[in-house]
A and B are shown apart, each in its own frame.
Chain A
Amino acid sequence: MRRIEFDTIAREVESLCIAACYELNDDVLGAIEQAARRESNPTAAGILKSMVENAHVASEQRIPLCQDTGLTVVFVEQGADVAVKPPADRRGATLADAVNAGVASGYEKGFLRKSIVGDPLNGRKNTGSNTPAVMHLTVVPGDKLKLTVMAKGGGCENKSQFKMFKPTADREEIIAWVVEAVRTAGADACPPFVVGVGIGGDFELSCLLSKKALLRKLSESNGDAFYAAIESDLLSKINALGLGPQGLGGDTTALAVMIETAPCHIASLPVAVNIECHSHRHKTAVI
């Protein structure tokens, strides 16, 4: 069994939080640049160019890409042969503790906004550390630890939706519903979007899949031709809405649509859509 020091994990998460909030990934920046070149609407092209400029300002002048540095979602793939070695003064500390320690120090050292309240309804007092993170753990073969940090903004997350379809529903029904969910998100959720779609599983798995789908490179399609065709169809229909960057009109309402699927019950066809803004921030490291 390989053991990784608690502090090694925390430090890695800390760096990922900071990198995610200051440095837009190349695939996202590239997609915005390409959209700016292709736009037929001059206002839309101007807004897209401002988004590119924003990414350069963030990186060069050390200002976060967006003031909403998000709820921190951490996807962990833990090798079955790897465990956390807690520090001497924190016996019993878990992987989740290490992740949260990294989030807290990353948000403090990185001058990132702390946007988490400890109780959702009663008092809504800010925890002051951006913790707890939402962590999704998968156990995989091997002795590595793969950490992916996503800074998920509230404005776009608020527009995400779920629907339980009849199992006899066809692809067209699902496409129409996803397009409508994007139209409803509209200007409020900072288009152009990255749209994650989870199909199958159960109630909560479809929602998780819709978020996991966002982690794929924007240029990559689903490996299954059936779903790759739906992604392409959805992207065309969403961009045909004409909503455009910031909802002010244009050809670019979404940069990409990405679907993930899972087997499901004979009675069910759960579908979730996770709306992600153009400031699509996530970073990965393997220890």
Chain B
Amino acid sequence: MKAIGLESPLTCSVVRSLRAGDEVLVSGMVYTARDMAHKRLCDLLTAGKDLPFPLKGAIIYFVGPSPAGPGQVIGAAGPTTSSRMDDFSPRFIAAGLKAMIGKGYRSKEVREALREYGAVHLATIGGAGAMLSRHIVSAEVIAFEDLGPEAVRKLQVVDFPAVVAYDSYGNSVYDR
């Protein structure tokens, strides 16, 4: 199967063209956020404040990278378990988030939000953080620096490999 190139920010029509099981190569900007960052981003939304990055069309990558070694842009940078973000993701999806990258299962509520608003969940290889980091060409902390590995980073990625784990029609690659 030939992988589909995805360029961020994503449009609704691109997202709706994807089906569970499609292999994709993501390029462009993605934003990192995991547990604590999700909590804080949600608090900002509740307070009606601006987020540190535009959600419309955005891709959030669930990752807490290891520190960059000498001459490196970033350290290992593979996905963390997506289900820990289940309570938060529907709010971001409703506010324009178009894709998430992680590993493992998503809740019924997340699947419903993906269907209703037109978004996808992508899975990449957990435990392949060294290999995946080679697809990241720049990294910059843009918020919550005090969270260390959990800070929000803006990453530029090139041909970052993933598979559509949950599409915008209620299908999942894990259901097969």
Query: Which A positions have Cβ atoms within 8 angstroms of B?
Result: 47, 50-51, 53-55, 57-58, 61-69, 111-115, 124, 126, 128, 153-155, 158, 186-190, 246-249, 277-279
Q: Which residues of A contact B64 (CB under 8 A)?
A: 67-68, 113, 115
Decide if B44 is an interface residue (CB 8 Å cutoff).
Answer: no
Decide if B130 is an interface residue (CB 8 Å cutoff).
Answer: yes
Are the CB atoms of B75 and A113 closer together than 8 Å?
Answer: yes
In angstroms, Cα B173 to Cα A248, docked, is 7
In angstroms, Cα B123 to Cα A249, docked, is 14
Task: Choose among B65, B104, B131 the residue that contacts A186 (Cβ–Cβ < 8 A).
Answer: B104
Query: Which B positions have Cβ atoms within 8 angstroms of A?
Result: 36, 63-69, 72, 75-78, 80-83, 103-105, 123, 125-131, 133-134, 147-149, 163, 173-174, 176
Are the CB atoms of B148 and A114 closer together than 8 Å?
Answer: yes
Q: Which residues of B contact A57 (CB under 8 A)?
A: 130-131, 134
Are the CB atoms of B126 and A112 closer together than 8 Å?
Answer: no
Mostly, the A contact residues are: loop
Q: How many CB-defined contacts (below 8 Å) exist between A and B? A: 130
Residue on B nearest A60 in the bound complex, by CB:
B130
Residue on A nearest B176 in the bound complex, by CB:
A249
Q: A57-B134, A111-B75, A186-B174 are in contact. List 17 more A-B contacts (CB 8 A).
A: A50-B128, A54-B127, A54-B128, A63-B75, A64-B66, A64-B129, A64-B130, A65-B130, A66-B130, A111-B66, A112-B66, A113-B66, A114-B148, A187-B174, A246-B125, A248-B173, A277-B127
Are the CB atoms of B76 and A65 closer together than 8 Å?
Answer: yes
Q: Which residues of A contact B176 (CB under 8 A)?
A: 249
Query: Shortest beta-carbon distance, A259 to chain B, in Å?
Result: 24
In angstroms, Cα B82 to Cα A247, docked, is 13
Task: Choose among B69, B81, B83, B127 the residue that contacts A279 (Cβ–Cβ < 8 A).
Answer: B127
In angstroms, Cα B34 to Cα A113, docked, is 14
Report which residue of B69, B72, B131, B149 has the largest number of chain A beta carbons within 10 angstroms of its beta carbon.
B131
Q: Which residues of B contact A155 (CB under 8 A)?
A: 80-81, 103-104, 126
In angstroms, Cα B125 to Cα A55, docked, is 13
Query: Shortest beta-carbon distance, A125 to chain B, in Å?
Result: 9
Task: Choose among A47, A68, A158, A188 the residue that contacts B105 (Cβ–Cβ < 8 A).
Answer: A188
If A66-B76, A111-B75 touch, whether A247 touches B129 (CB-CB below 8 Å) is no
Query: Shortest beta-carbon distance, A113 to chain B, in Å?
Result: 4
Residue on A nearest B1 in the bound complex, by CB:
A43
Task: Choose among B75, B127, B134, B174 the residue that contacts A278 (Cβ–Cβ < 8 A).
Answer: B127
If A126-B148, A186-B105, A187-B174 touch, whether A66 touches B129 (CB-CB below 8 Å) is yes
If A112-B66, A155-B80 touch, whether A63 touches B129 (CB-CB below 8 Å) is yes
Q: Which residues of A contact B103 (CB under 8 A)?
A: 155, 187-188, 190, 246
Query: Shortest beta-carbon distance, B108 to chain A, in Å?
Result: 16
In angstroms, Cα B75 to Cα A153, docked, is 16
Q: Which residues of B contact A277 (CB under 8 A)?
A: 126-127
Q: Which residues of A contact B75 (CB under 8 A)?
A: 63-64, 67, 111, 113
Query: Shortest beta-carbon distance, A248 to chain B, in Å?
Result: 6
